[in-house]
Amino acid sequence: MSPEQFSSSVLDWFDRHGRHNLPWQQGITPYRVWVSEIMLQQTQVSTVLNYFDRFMAALPDVQALAEAAEDEVLHLWTGLGYYTRARNLQKTAKIIMAQYAGEFPHDVEKLVELPGIGLSTAGAIASISMGLRAPILDGNVKRVLARFTAQEGYPGEPKVAKALWATAERFTPHARVNDYTQAMMDLGATLCTRSKPSCLLCPLERGCEAHLLGLETRYPIPKPRKAVPQRRTLMPMLANRDGAILLYRRPSSGLWGGLWSLPELDDLDDLEHLAAQHALGLGTPQALPALVHTFSHFQLAIEPWLVQVEESALHVAEADWLWYNLATPPRLGLAAPVKTLLKRAADVLNAGEPS
């Protein structure tokens, strides 16, 4: 199948069966495309829909994002995970305001220089919102092309990635590149799916080498598996008389960077040191159901303990600590498991039993 036949088949299918009503396809701007592409990294469309609308309502343009409080940005991102994406969004917004007068550069190389924008995301912004010819290679497109060419090797390897980028470049048309980019993402998301591809409905069926071999699900070649490391932490939820829980802001770099979280201890015996640090009198710790949170590179087993505490009238709160009011919670960025644990704490404090 020639590149012209490839793109023509994909576009014909898109016109009849593609998705045309996604929120970021309406009122297309570089800003809306950019935010949607960053949200869609490692995240399903169904999950992103509500987050995107809420984010746009609060921060409708690049200036609003650049000027927003970091806590507001992280609050709007809470639950989407991979929080570096949110921090990079705001970094990029500030650069665009300061260096590009609020306008996204119409140049893939300049887009890639911005925090959090890789080559595929830059290609999507340039092609969908600017009409520039720029190939993309997100997870969905990578799967389509790896199957179409029966590409051997794990795509994370530089040699294999280079081959797939060359394929993406070869098949990207010069006309209707905005529709083609969206079409390729749709094709991977709706037909050329990871486990049960709908080959009989695919416009590329006749030329797909993986399909001709009957080996569709063999491609892309998966990453060699390694055992997922396990970690454990104890998270005390110190509740004062008002039912507020003590939280602290994590360092800006590293795991859950910049988010508000519960203290972490190695052992329950460390609780007295934490209480002394904040001049708190400790009640009897109450164990709540454990929670396992899976990251991309390890699993974290969280042991939560609810502890009623008495505050000292003389103690002055430290800058990176606050009492989180469960009844009227402030708009803060919270790690997803912490948000879950705070809800459990609220249920216990309100009803006297775990949820």
Q: Which of 319, 288, 318 has the alpha carbon at shortest distance from 303?
A: 288
Type of residue numbered 17: H
Q: What is the pLDDT of residue 352?
A: 58
Residue 34 exposed, middle or buried by CB count within 10 Å (0-12, 13-18, 19+): buried
Give the rounded distance of the alpha carbon of 26 from its chain centre: 22
- The mean pLDDT value for 151-173 works out to 96
- Asked if the model's pLDDT at residue 194 lies above 50, the reply is yes
- The mean pLDDT value for 99-115 works out to 96
- Asked if the model's pLDDT at residue 97 lies above 80, the reply is yes
Domain boundaries along the sequence of the chain: 3-218, 230-351
For residue 315, name the pLDDT band (cuts at 50, 70, 90). Answer: low
- Asked if the model's pLDDT at residue 102 lies above 90, the reply is yes
Report the C-alpha gap between 3 and 172 in whole angstroms.
8
Q: What is the pLDDT of residue 350?
A: 86
- Asked if the model's pLDDT at residue 301 lies above 70, the reply is yes
pLDDT in tens, 214-259: 999 999 999 888 888 999 999 999 999 988 999 999 988 888 888 9
The fourth-level CATH superfamily of domain 230-351 is Nucleoside Triphosphate Pyrophosphohydrolase (3.90.79.10)
Backbone angles phi, psi at 186, to 5 degrees: -65, -40
- Residue 292: which H helix or E strand, with range? strand 291-294
pLDDT in tens, 31-76: 999 999 999 998 888 899 989 999 999 999 999 999 999 999 999 9
Instruction: Report, at the CATH architecture level, how domain 3-218 is classified.
Output: Orthogonal Bundle (1.10)
Report CA torsion sign: 77, 79, 80, 86: positive
Q: pTM here? A: 0.76
Complete DSSP assignment for 131-190 = --------HHHHHHHHHHTT--S-TTSHHHHHHHHHHHHHH--SSSHHHHHHHHHHHHHH
Q: Do domains 3-218 and 230-351 have the same CATH topology?
A: no
HSE (side-chain half, CA atoms, 13 Å) at 314: 4
Catalytic residue among 37, 72, 216, 311: 37
37 is catalytic: yes
Buried b or exposed e, range 11-28, using 16+ CB within 10 angstroms: bebbeeebeeeeebeeee
- Which residue do the tokens 């912004």 mark? 125
Tokens of 298: 């390890």
Task: Specify whether the CB–CB gap between 152 and 166 falls below 8 A.
Answer: no
- Asked if the model's pLDDT at residue 147 lies above 80, the reply is yes
Under 8 Å CB-to-CB from 3, ≥6 apart: which residues?
A: 170, 171, 173
- Residue 236: which H helix or E strand, with range? strand 230-239
HSE (side-chain half, CA atoms, 13 Å) at 10: 32
Report the C-alpha gap between 209 and 215 in whole angstroms.
9
What whole-number percentage of the chain has pLDDT above 70? 97
- Which residue do the tokens 């898109």 mark? 14
- The mean pLDDT value for 87-112 works out to 97
Report the C-alpha gap between 209 and 305 in whole angstroms.
55
